Amino acid sequence: MIRVEGLTKDYGARRAIDHLSFHADDGEILGFLGPNGAGKTTAMRILCGYMPPTAGKAEVAGYDVVEQSLEVRRRVGYLPETVPLYPDMTVFDYLKFMADLRHLPKAGERVDDVLELVGLLDRADGYVANLSKGMRQRVGLAQALLHQPEVLILDEPTIGLDPAQIHEVRNLIQKLGRERTILLSTHILSEAQQVCDRVLIINKGHIVAEDTPERLQARVSGAQRIAIRVGNDGDGLEAVVRKVSGVLRVTQITVGSVEFETTPGTDARPQVARALVEAGYDLMEMRPIGVSLEEIFLQLTRDEPQPPEVWEGEPGPEETAESTSASHEEVNREG
């Protein structure tokens, strides 16, 4: 269980995350989605007890991350963005060290178990320095799973893996997510769509959307995209569709099939169908295509309205620009 209220973190003058509030229940996989620098890693680090927030409260597995940091750390498995490994140790020794730090009984057996889980049993005696990126990632994941934590926090768990490994890790995450809380960050949208029960889109330290991947899709698809296919040769099909009112954009897919987008809030399907029949086409198929999470993401993270009161000292991402321009002035004065 993760419960976060008004979580804020400042790095000097820069506000990395700004009043984040969200929760994740047991057996839920929550996806953190956002461009680089959105504050995903900062939020995750706070939840792992790596650093305290500037303001706000966070509870992980029923314990406060500031007041009961050690209790939280005992119950959280954390895979940082850059997997921290000791190159001078063997895979087994590294995991044994981590298991000993967590006081696990029968640490050696437990290490063998997690190595089997991530498919690295045959590399147990190899040095960490000689592992490929994908293998390192899996060692990091093994480290996070050692103590069978109630809460798993995974910062970009599939980065650097090949497609087969990505598939494996996603399956593993889904399997693990049945009985525990998982918070994972990613910027691969299809991954969030596939793995997560709920997605939190975060941009510039703010949550811009929070919902199931399906509902998010439905919410933004005020603009509908529809594919049509006609039976005959389809000459001039594009032009006919384009003339219908309410149609925004038309793209030719193949001869005889096009895709079009409608203006948000309108449904131009009946008009298009009528126009096609009147023009003498045999309408074979008309099928709505969901707007992909990719598009939702871009829409939400790009079209964010700029706060107008930038210079009134309102804390926000613009403050960075302000302070840097101020320091430029200082430099100029000195020069």
Partner 1 sequence: MRNIWTIANRELKYYFGSPAAYLVAFMFLIIIGIIFYANVVYAVTNQYAPGIDIVIGPMVTVLLFATPAITMRLLADEQRLGTMELLLTAPVRDWELVVGKWLGGFLFMIVILALTWLFPLLLNQIVDPGIDQGILVSGYLGLLLFTGALVAIGVAVSSLFSNQIAVFFATLGVYMVLWLIGLPGQASGGTGSELLRYIDISEHFYNTFYRGIIDLSDMVYFLALLALALFLGTVSLESRRWR
The residue ranges that bind partner 1 (CB under 8 A) are: 11, 45, 48-52, 70, 73-74, 76, 78, 80, 82, 84-89, 93, 97-98, 100-103, 143
Q: Which two tokens stand for residue 312?
A: 């009134």
Nearer to partner 1, 86 or 249 (CB): 86
Closest distance to partner 1 from the beta carbon of 73 (Å): 4
Nearer to partner 1, 101 or 255 (CB): 101
Contact 73, 148 (CB under 8 A): no
Closest distance to partner 1 from the beta carbon of 84 (Å): 4
Nearer to partner 1, 45 or 206 (CB): 45
Helix (H) or strand (E) holding 238: helix 237-243
Closest distance to partner 1 from the beta carbon of 113 (Å): 19
Q: Which residue reads 């997690």 in tokens?
A: 114
Helix (H) or strand (E) holding 15: strand 14-24
Closest distance to partner 1 from the beta carbon of 103 (Å): 6
Closest distance to partner 1 from the beta carbon of 328 (Å): 24
User: Closest Cα to residue 112, out of 103, 100, 124?
Assistant: 124
Q: Which two tokens stand for residue 77?
A: 């498995």
In degrees and rounded to multiples of 5, residue 110 shows phi and psi of: -65, -40
The whole-angstrom separation of Cα 118 and Cα 154 is 15
| Helix, strand, coil percent content, the chain, rounded in steps of 5 | 40, 25, 35
Closest distance to partner 1 from the beta carbon of 162 (Å): 23
Contact 157, 184 (CB under 8 A): yes
Determine how β-strand 257-262 pairs with β-strand 247-254: antiparallel
Nearer to partner 1, 79 or 230 (CB): 79
Nearer to partner 1, 59 or 261 (CB): 59
Closest distance to partner 1 from the beta carbon of 39 (Å): 16
Nearer to partner 1, 12 or 313 (CB): 12
Nearer to partner 1, 63 or 297 (CB): 63
The whole-angstrom separation of Cα 241 and Cα 238 is 5
Contact 264, 222 (CB under 8 A): yes
